[in-house]
Amino acid sequence: MAYSVLVAANRGPLSYALAADGTLTARRGGGGLVSGLSAALARQPDALWVCAALSEADREAVRQGVSEPGVRMLDIDETVYDDAYNGIANSVLWFTHHHLYDVPTAPVFDAEFRRHWDSYVVYNRAFAQALAQEAAEGAAVLVQDYHLALVPGELRELRPDLRISHFTHTPWASRDFLDMLPDDVRAQLMWGMLGADVVGFHTSAWAHAFMEGARLDDERGTAAPCFPAGTGGERYVEKVPAGPGRGHRRTDVAVYALGVDGDELRALAHRPEVNDKLAALRAEVGDRRTIVRVDRTELSKNIVRGLLAYRELLTTRPEWRGRVVHLASAYPSRQDLEVYRAYTQSVRELAARINEEFGSQDWQPVLLSVQDDFARSLAAYRLADVALVNPVRDGMNLVAKEIPVVSDGGCALVLSTGAGAYGELREDALTVNPFDVSDTARALHEALGMPAAERAERTKRLAAAATALPPSAWFEAQLSALRGP
Query: For residue 331, is pLDDT > 50?
Result: yes
Amino acid 379: pLDDT: 97
Closest CA to 418 of 405, 431, 401: 431
Averaged pLDDT, 326-352: 90
Distance CA 28, CA 43 (A): 17
**Residue-wise pLDDT tens digits, 250-295:** 899 999 999 999 999 999 999 999 999 999 999 999 999 999 999 9
Q: How far is CA 3 from CA 50, 88, 154, in A?
A: 11, 30, 19
**Residue-wise pLDDT tens digits, 296-305:** 999 999 999 9
User: Which residues have a Cβ under 8 Å from the Cβ of 97 and sit 6 or more positions away?
Assistant: 146, 168, 170, 171, 172, 173, 177, 393
Q: CB of 387 within 8 A of CB of 413?
A: yes
Q: What is the mean pLDDT of the chain?
A: 91
Question: How do strand 223-226 and strand 412-416 relate by DSSP bridges?
Answer: unpaired
Q: Which of 55-64, 211-220, 222-231, 364-373 shows the lowest per-residue confidence on average (mean pLDDT)?
A: 222-231
Amino acid 403: pLDDT: 98
Distance CA 390, CA 419 (A): 7
Secondary structure E strands in 29-150:
47-52, 71-74, 135-144
Q: 37 falls in which pLDDT band (50, 70, 90)?
A: confident
Amino acid 225: pLDDT: 34
Amino acid 485: pLDDT: 65
CA-CA-CA-CA dihedral for 449, 451, 457, 462, to nearest 10: 0
**Residue-wise pLDDT tens digits, 147-184:** 999 999 999 999 999 999 999 999 999 999 999 999 99
Residue 467 DSSP symbol: T
Closest CA to 294 of 352, 357, 235, 378: 378
**Residue-wise pLDDT tens digits, 2-23:** 999 999 999 999 999 988 888 8
Kind plus residue range of the DSSP H or E element containing 226: strand 223-226
Query: For residue 244, is pLDDT > 90?
Result: no
Distance CA 277, CA 285 (A): 12
Secondary structure (3-state) at 167: strand
Residue 140 DSSP symbol: E
**What predicted TM-score, i.e. pTM, was given to this entire model?**
0.92
Amino acid 32: pLDDT: 63
Amino acid 281: pLDDT: 97
Averaged pLDDT, 174-197: 95
Amino acid 248: pLDDT: 54
